[in-house]
Structure 1
Amino acid sequence: MTLSSPSSSNAPSVAPPLDATPARALGEFIRAHRERLSPMAVGLPPGPRRRTPGLRREEVAQLCGVSPTWYTWIEQGRPVSASADALARIAVALQLSRAERAYLFELAAQRDPAEPDPAAQDAPASLLKSVELIDAPAYVLDRQWNALRWNAQAAALFVGWLDGERDRNLLSFTFTGAGAQSLIVDWETRARRLVAEFRADSIRHLNDAPTRALIDSLSSASDAFARFWASQDVGEREGGTREFNHPTRGRLVYDQITFKPAHREDLKLVMLVGV
């Protein structure tokens, strides 16, 4: 591992915003997860009173078998050279989940040595066509979580999103839609989870203009989105129970199932099966 030269003394004193550069985003992400991990969780004694939450940088460096200076620089967002092996050791030391580990490697523009080779087949046309064959609310999302196709059952369920002429973005509906908070049961928990899932999804195309525009727009329009996005939470898109307070049909409960086509993980087929 090599260290790059420190920044010039003539550099601006104001730090760039979060996610302004991949190196800064990587450092912020690692720091946030270091501060969440207790010494006891990794088998270290608590020691004397700590000034900051979580593990110390030196402790993580020791667990990873890397230089404390190198680890400090990577947290500070400096341009350092990080091998896939070093990143894997950081992921293990910080006890990252599978989604968090994938996010770490995407931020560092490295391929996770533990990641299997992607499948080669791609059939988006068949994916879109399949929506009409499903006898339950179903829809397909693109990489910015815009609905590309949905069936009549989905339009009837998602009042304010998939009915009529509206913005088809799921996040925009959730955070700025007039009826979203009344339609979605336990809105705050679900909204927070959606942002964590979108962070995991968007890392592969975070610098694409449509993705950046969506994040910036929602951060300006919704204090809740801005707060959840800044939390650095990352989560896999999960199934499970989804509950709605429909304006005409009352309380509705579904099990959500999400599928991704081979080699096109930026597309998702979502089904809601009634329970």
Structure 2
Amino acid sequence: MLDSDQRRLLGEFVRAHRERMQPAAAGRRRTSVLRREELAARAGISVTWCTWIEQGRPVQASPEALGRIAQALSLSRAERAYLFELAGRLDPEGPAGSSAYAPPALIAAVKAIKPPAYGLDRLWNACCWNDAAARLFHGWLDGDCQRNLLRYVFLEHSARVLIPAWKDRARRLLAEFRADFAHTFRDAQVKTFVETLRRESPFFAEAWDEQAVQIREGGLRTFNHSRGGLLSFTQHTFAPSERPDYKLVMLTPAES
């Protein structure tokens, strides 16, 4: 249940956006704003429910009803995300369902970075990377290999050679992915991806069932590179402001 501040903010937001809407027949009436009855009709909810939301009463709309309200109010992407955040709901048509292309800002940042850097989408597919990353991650970002980070780590033999303490690192990586999974578990592609990896990798299935969750903190990362020997980096992870479901990962050489 939402707390009083959330309910108040949600109600104020819905009311303000309703009152800025122009009704279809504005020229033949006293008020030039959309009435609650009209918003309720457009969104397919009852007038009482609409009133209670605006008044900040202890009610909680379903994601489907919120989606209809967002459409009825012609909310922008940012406004819709704000509506769902205030309502404490996951948007079924949120970033996970939007464009599969990497944001231009992410591509530009990866290209501008000299140390190894790459971008990940919501499934942790590599969507862009620089030459330094391709040289470091032989078997993942070079040639025609598997581009998904989790599939690479759990299925490719070269990952076990490149990554010291492979099982521990793999478990940590999966725990970080699970933190993202809380925002994407309704996405059919994400569900299929997880179930496929469970079938293909018994170790993935075992680690997944452990239910470990960890934020992507970064820190020291070492690699047994076939040409460079033992290499150490400090990992940093960022999210583009326009597409927070994507990640920018940068590996700066660790100080010896």
Matches of 1:215 and 1:266 in 2, distance apart?
A: 17
| 2:88 is equivalent to residue 110 of structure 1 | yes
Matched AA of 1:245: N
Matched AA of 1:222: S
| 2:229 is equivalent to residue 250 of structure 1 | yes
| 2:161 is equivalent to residue 185 of structure 1 | no
SS in 2 for 1:155: helix
Matches of 1:210 and 1:165 in 2, distance apart?
A: 22
| 2:180 is equivalent to residue 201 of structure 1 | yes
**Bigger proportion of residues as helix:** 2
Matched AA of 1:193: R
SS in 2 for 1:156: helix
Q: Is the 8 A contact 2:105 2:240 kept in 1?
A: no
- Which residue of structure 1 aligns with residue 144 of structure 2? 165
Deviation at 1:236, TM superposition (A): 0.5
Q: Is the 8 A contact 2:139 2:146 kept in 1?
A: no
Partner residue of 2:129 out of 150, 172, 194? 150
Matched AA of 1:226: A
Q: Is the 8 A contact 2:176 2:216 kept in 1?
A: yes
Matches of 1:188 and 1:272 in 2, distance apart?
A: 21
Matched AA of 1:202: F
Deviation at 1:240, TM superposition (A): 0.3
Matched AA of 1:272: L
- Which residue of structure 2 aligns with residue 274 of structure 1? 253
Matched AA of 1:244: F
Matches of 2:210 and 2:158 in 1, distance apart?
A: 25
Deviation at 1:205, TM superposition (A): 1.5
| 2:92 is equivalent to residue 128 of structure 1 | no
Deviation at 1:206, TM superposition (A): 1.3
Q: Is the 8 A contact 2:107 2:119 kept in 1?
A: yes
Matches of 1:269 and 1:180 in 2, distance apart?
A: 20
What CA deviation, in whole Å up to 9, does each residue of 1:78-103 have, x standing for no partner? xxxxx99xxxxxxxxxxxxxxxxxxx
Partner residue of 1:218 out of 197, 208, 225? 197
Call closer, same or farther: CA 1:145–1:257 in 2, change over 3 Å: same
Deviation at 1:208, TM superposition (A): 1.6
Matches of 1:245 and 1:254 in 2, distance apart?
A: 12
Matches of 1:188 and 1:162 in 2, distance apart?
A: 21
Deviation at 1:217, TM superposition (A): 1.2
What CA deviation, in whole Å up to 9, does each residue of 1:34-60 have, x standing for no partner? xxxxxxxxxxxxxxxxxxxxxxxxxxx
> Which protein shows a greater Rg?
2
Partner residue of 1:231 out of 210, 213, 216? 210
Deviation at 1:126, TM superposition (A): 1.4
Deviation at 1:207, TM superposition (A): 2.5
Give me the TM-score of the superposition, normalised by structure 2. 0.59
Runs of 4+ in 1 over 4 A off after TM superposition: none
What CA deviation, in whole Å up to 9, does each residue of 1:209-241 have, x standing for no partner? 221121011111111111111111111111100
- Which residue of structure 1 aligns with residue 117 of structure 2? 138
Matched AA of 2:106: L
- Which residue of structure 1 aligns with residue 219 of structure 2? 240
* Residue segments in structure 2 that go unaligned for 5+ positions in a row: 2-58, 61-83, 91-101
Matches of 1:162 and 1:128 in 2, distance apart?
A: 15
Q: Is the 8 A contact 1:144 1:202 kept in 2?
A: no
Give me the TM-score of the superposition, normalised by structure 1. 0.55
Matched AA of 1:255: T
Matches of 1:187 and 1:160 in 2, distance apart?
A: 15
Q: Is the 8 A contact 1:142 1:266 kept in 2?
A: yes
Matches of 1:213 and 1:243 in 2, distance apart?
A: 31
SS in 1 for 2:142: coil
